[in-house]
Structure 1
Amino acid sequence: GGGALLGNLDTTLHLATGLQVTIAEDPLTCGAIGAGRVLEEHEVLSDFLQD
């Protein structure tokens, strides 16, 4: 999402975790598409929500 646009976030995360970090070409659109997919998958979403 938009957090990927923060300066040097990829490098900071890589150095902190040792994991490879790749920023999407259009992170804002990717965040919106991902959020839409989660909302469409009610079963998956319910696993993360509490009553």
Structure 2
Amino acid sequence: MLQRYSNPAMRGALPQIVCDDAHAQVLSVPTPDHPGRHVYVRKPGGAWSEQH
């Protein structure tokens, strides 16, 4: 299982966990600097990659 996402540097910007299973972890993170959210995907053993 992947570790839960946490980023103490982004207080108040809590990510929405879109998918969290054995195959991948997908997060939707609010971005205060512009409208919308960033979506990040991580596969087991891999780094985070931004999807959008």
Length-normalised TM-score, structure 2: 0.25
Structure with max Cα Rg: 1
Instruction: Indicate the structure with greater strand content.
Output: 2
- Which structure's relative contact order is higher, taking Cα pairs within 8 Å and 6+ residues apart? 1
Length-normalised TM-score, structure 1: 0.25
